[in-house]
Amino acid sequence: MPASIPDRPTPDSTPNRRQIVQVTTAATAALSLPGSLAALAATPATATAQTPATARPFDPAAFGIGFASVAGGLERPLFVTHAGDGSGRLFVVEQAGRIRIIADGHLVTTPFLDITDRVGSSGNEQGLLGLAFASDYATSGAFSVDYTDADGNTVVSRFVASDATTADPTSETVILQQEQPFPNHNGGGLAFGPDGFLYISFGDGGSQGDPNGNGQNLGTWLGKILRIDVAQTDGGTPYSIPPDNPFAGSADAKPEILCYGLRNPWRFSFDRETGDLWIGDVGQNLYEEVDFVAAADVAKGGQNFGWNIMEGDSCYNAETCDQGGLTPPVFVYSHEEGGCSVIGGYVYRGTEVPSLMGTYLCGDYCSGLIWGLGRDASRAWAASAPVQSGFGISAFGEDESGELYVVDQAGGTLYRITSG
């Protein structure tokens, strides 16, 4: 989980300050599938545009959302996504090591995947943490997961579906592993980008204040987002390095690294229409932040988001610090304003709530607050006043049609975002 929280406090007032930071932007896997998924393969997945739409200015005063219950009875749900197979189903990650299917508004009894025998979930931030379906899932049945094992170390693996409703636990192919020095800050986010590469988020390794200096150390995956090609192997390695990765071929950095200076990027996402990258990075004791990389700059990579030089847009444990070369966040809120752990979300690209079109939603695990974020008429970043959900938010999710969902870990329920 994004933070170790024994109890989720209920805020007694609406936050009265929001820090919006102006940023100037400088400028899947191919695998194999049993024939039992042929019916799904015959239904094309929803197309995703790769060119920016005409951007409508964001009006913070007009932001409003509601919530419609989709399914309950989930056990510590941490994430929800779709398979892109045209089925309209939702797949929910449960912390203990199961993936559940929601079909036509009903929670399917039999898990899609059960790997509780190898997932270590005793720590609050451990367990089955991430899930991403390959873009050709309808024909390959391939998907990737991120989990902590019995020793608390991170494992990213590929599995293959046995049929339309279940995946084979014995089909696991380990893609990469990372030793974790502490039980917290494991990251755990996975996503296939518009380029077909697999993106993986790692926290700084845990404890407090990044004691090992991992965030700024390019010799480790910790405190980074990685970018790898799981469709191509490289010798004995079950993936290859995209040649345009910023540190490909470098003797002084891990070639898998895309960007760095992150504390615990629990959830990140791509705007399905523009390809922009959004990152929710959980802060230390004072500030939470949302980071942004324009689509044109994603492959260039190399962004340093500042941890542990900075926390949010403030120097960490110092009155002054060298901020040269750092990429500042686009949204910051303090713990006294809005909670304790930011939960990165998605840009709304659905059709059922036209007023949200192009708005990025994010929230806070402790307070249950949800914000809308976007560029106003002057192209400056602006955030709405927060909406109180009352949920223990562990993730947002997106379905094939671009509708958004919020996962209430505390209540074991999935909700769809509706108009306010």
> For residue range 166-213, what is the model confidence (pLDDT) as tens digits?
999 999 999 999 999 999 999 999 999 999 999 999 999 999 999 999
Lowest mean pLDDT segment, chosen from 220-224, 311-315, 338-342: 338-342
pLDDT confidence tier of residue 420, bands split at 50, 70 and 90? confident
Q: How far apart are CA 404 and CA 137, in angstroms?
A: 21
Residue 370, both tokens: 């949800």
- Contact residues for 80 (Cβ-Cβ < 8 A; gap 6+): 90, 91, 92, 93, 395, 397, 405, 407, 414
pLDDT at 150: 97
What are the beta bridge partners of residue 377?
none
Chain segment 335-371, per-residue pLDDT in tens: 999 899 999 999 999 999 999 999 999 999 999 999 9
Decide: 284 and 326 in contact? Cβ < 8 Å.
Answer: no
N-term to C-term CA, the chain: 28
CA dihedral sign of residues 23, 24, 26, 28:
positive
pLDDT of residue 129: 98
pLDDT level of residue 3 (50, 70, 90 thresholds): low
Q: Residue 24: which pLDDT band, with cuts at 50, 70 and 90?
A: very low
Q: Taking residues 221-250, what's their average pLDDT?
A: 96
Of all residues in the chain, what percent carry a pLDDT higher than 90?
Answer: 85
d(CA 100, CA 135): 20
| Mean pLDDT of the residues in the chain | 90
Spatial CA neighbour of 183 closest among 237, 99, 124: 124
Check pLDDT > 50 for residue 116. yes
Dihedrals phi, psi of 308, to nearest 5 degrees = -105, 30
* pLDDT at 32 (0 to 100): 33
Mean pLDDT of 73-101: 98
Question: How far apart are the C-alpha atoms of 101 and 108, rounded to whole Å?
Answer: 6
Phi, psi (rounded to 5 degrees) for 297: -105, -5
Angle, vertex CA 199, rays to CA 180 and CA 403, nearest 5:
115
What residue type is assigned to position 56 of the chain? R
* pLDDT beyond 50 at 4: no
Helix (H, G, I), strand (E, B) or coil at 240: strand
Only one residue has tokens 């030089």, namely 309
Dihedral, 316, 319, 324, 327 alpha carbons, nearest 10: 40
Q: Give me the count of residues in the chain.
A: 420
Residue 48, pLDDT > 60, answer no
Q: Which domains does the chain have, with CATH numbers?
A: 19-419 (2.120.10.30)
Three-class DSSP labels, 287-318: EEEEEEECHHHHCCCCCECCCCCEECCEECCC
Contacts of 282 by beta carbon, 8 Å cutoff, 6+ apart = 2, 3, 185, 203, 263, 264, 265, 266, 288, 341, 342
What confidence category does residue 2 fall into, taking pLDDT thresholds of 50, 70 and 90?
low
Q: Are 258 and 226 in contact (CB under 8 A)?
A: yes
E strand residue ranges, 117-172: 128-133, 142-148, 154-160
The gap from C-alpha 68 to its chain's centroid, in whole angstroms, comes to: 22
* Whole-angstrom distance, CA of residue 106 vs CA of residue 335: 36
For residues 130 and 146, the answer to whether their CB atoms sit within 8 Å is yes
Section 17-37 average pLDDT: 35
**Per residue in 155-165, pLDDT tens?**
999 999 999 99
Rounded-to-integer distance, Cα 413 and Cα 408, Å: 5
Question: What pLDDT score was predicted for residue 123?
Answer: 87
How do residues 363-406 score in pLDDT, each as one tens digit?
999 999 999 999 999 999 999 999 999 999 999 999 999 999 99
The whole-number pLDDT of residue 1 equals: 60
pTM score, whole prediction: 0.90
Contact 18, 333 (CB under 8 A): yes
Do 312 and 325 form a contact (C-beta atoms < 8 A)? Answer: no
In the prediction, which pLDDT does 55 show? 78
Give which of 273, 270, 277 is closest to 294, Cα–Cα. 277
Could you tell me which of 362, 398, 186, 193 has the C-alpha nearest to residue 289? 362
**pLDDT band for position 26 (50/70/90)?**
very low
DSSP 3-56: S--SS-PPPSS-----EE---PPP--------GGGHHHHTSPPPP---SPPPPP
- Contact assessment for residue 128 and residue 94, using Cβ atoms and an 8 Å cutoff: yes
Q: State the average pLDDT over residues 23-40.
A: 35
